[in-house]
Structure 1
């Protein structure tokens, strides 16, 4: 049996991305992720700021913009609604969720919402989902499922129900006309290409393999499940993440894999911004040295010049195995900080990673 991970990067895997012969210094797709932070007393302002951030991302040439759910917090609780608005303010950038926790959702209803937004966007939606009980389940169960909490199934079965609904399989025993109304046996509207653009947020080896078995794309993030103590006593996030990507590739070599780390380039940052950024990373670093809570290991945040960050990514075993990334933005920064960070990622870091902005690629192909 393969161990959960091995420290170090095999020499024959560090030079190709995704095992498909793509040079390791060429990043194919570059995206960003945000939770859409807002003020409790002015949530509209925060949502508008997030929409402007997505618009800026398209202008800078980013390939994708992802939103992360924050239920009962001061972040976007309904990405599908916000992405519906974003679909009307952008024309090219892919829009995704990373991830939608299915424990909070009715799979059939969510399939309807995603299909609607996908059609509104012209086929640009990339929903990422995960399974498991809702966060802080004991605190929210009575409000979320007052009558069915003990019967709710938060396993993979909930996910397969969602996949069948998105794929257009039968969900109702009746179709046809009843009186003046016409009914369908499948979820409507149906978006034919959406099933191929579904992502699974995996934390461990088994969930990475499950993503492949379900013919989903794989989202890896800045958190992994530490499933076995390291042989030398030092936890290696990159090696664990690399092992999970390898496990997925063994099952589905043709699938897309995206890596997400917190990346904070400082090339154009002011002295005040650099000081705050480094303080933010320093405060979060202790949690990266050993697993937190139920065995979850956090990746170190990457802060510094684009040259410094590119060098650290080049040595990162997880990054070496992917050809697209969705860098996570720090969750508590100011709008002008995000503008600076996105500008440096697109204008300085991305090119160092071999990435070409989407509008430049389109112009070259014209």
Structure 2
């Protein structure tokens, strides 16, 4: 059975029509939307992380608050830019948030996406070493973070305080968290690398490559390569795979005014100096959306679907949107509400 959650980009801005005019608005409404999603029977509440932008930034206070207000749904990120992270401090924060939620944290991380700041991670104190790219640095941060949450010692104890010299791990530890780390992959090659590392795969609504086939078919190939590499690596546990989609049901004139009436098409563009393929948005009457989404081959192959939400329209609007999808669209892909 599919897992389905929402993914909020956490935009806020004091413009006409926005229900999230301040950072406080978007944080508090994110918590309320997670509570509403759990009541609807959805499986997850996920949040995008951006720096130097009017969007959600530091994720762990929000994740901890959502964990404290909910009891069942998974909570996570899609994704944390590891170029910016202090791996040891992040390990402490992640373990604390996971313990508060009693083991429901699902952390999506990656090298990061294009941003408004020029080398913004350097202002956070993280500068690539000579001969190292920012992507190399992100992967190095990731390796240390993963070793740390798995309980590896990172510093020697002081015998004057402990009576012995022994490696000390970061505290607290949250057992099982190491298996709930996802890498946000934008290509088929990075999906294979993700499998080699033993991380779950998180694939969004864009891929930073193009072969001329429809987006869902290209993403399906990415997933298939990931699964094949995972099997070759010999990992014992079953991997998890998520994809993201923008799915907007048109229920009335207000929806039509906001989003139009028809689903879009894939878009080809340039991102980070290369060609990228952007997946289409699904927009239309609920019955038509159910048929379209059921034909999406990547959605069929993944075990988890993250639905992007227009968070600036507020909690009530998005809860209504998610409720309509839960009632009329998601059963077509094998989803059932959780209790």
* TM band (smaller chain): 0.7 to 0.9
2:223 to 232, 242, 245: 245
1:59 to 39, 48, 52: 39
Q: Which residue of 2 aligns with 1:317?
A: 297
Cα gap change, 1:132 to 1:63, in 2 (>3 Å) = closer
Counterparts of 1:345-360 in structure 2 under 5 Å?
345-359=325-339
Shift of 1:246: 0.4
Q: Which residue of 1 aligns with 2:147?
A: 164
Q: Which residue of 2 aligns with 1:289?
A: 267
Q: Normalized against structure 2, the TM-score is what?
A: 0.86
Cα gap change, 1:183 to 1:326, in 2 (>3 Å) = farther
- Structure 2 distance, partners of 1:51, 1:124, is 15
Task: State the superposition RMSD in angstroms.
Answer: 2.6
Shift of 1:222: 0.5
- Structure 1 distance, partners of 2:121, 2:105, is 30
Q: Which runs of 5+ in 1 are unaligned?
A: 1-26, 360-366
- Structure 2 distance, partners of 1:298, 1:175, is 53
Runs of 4+ residues deviating >6 angstroms: none
- Structure 2 distance, partners of 1:215, 1:193, is 14
Shift of 1:331: 5.2
1:218-257 CA distance string (max 9 Å, x none): 1111011215x42xxxx52111101100011002253111
Q: Which residue of 1 aligns with 2:256?
A: 274
Q: Normalized against structure 1, the TM-score is what?
A: 0.80
- Structure 1 distance, partners of 2:128, 2:197, is 26
Shift of 1:46: 2.0
Counterparts of 1:156-305 in structure 2 under 5 Å?
156-174=139-157, 178=161, 185-227=168-210, 229-230=211-212, 235-253=213-231, 254-266=238-250, 269-278=251-260, 285=264, 288-293=266-271, 294-305=274-285
Does 1:47 pair with 2:31? no
- Structure 2 distance, partners of 1:299, 1:351, is 22
Shift of 1:298: 1.0
Q: Which runs of 5+ in 2 are unaligned?
A: 15-20, 232-237
Shift of 1:179: 7.9
Does 1:130 pair with 2:110? yes
Counterparts of 1:143-154 in structure 2 under 5 Å?
143-145=123-125, 148=127, 154=135
SS for the counterpart of 1:171 is strand
Number of equivalenced pairs: 320
SS for the counterpart of 1:290 is strand
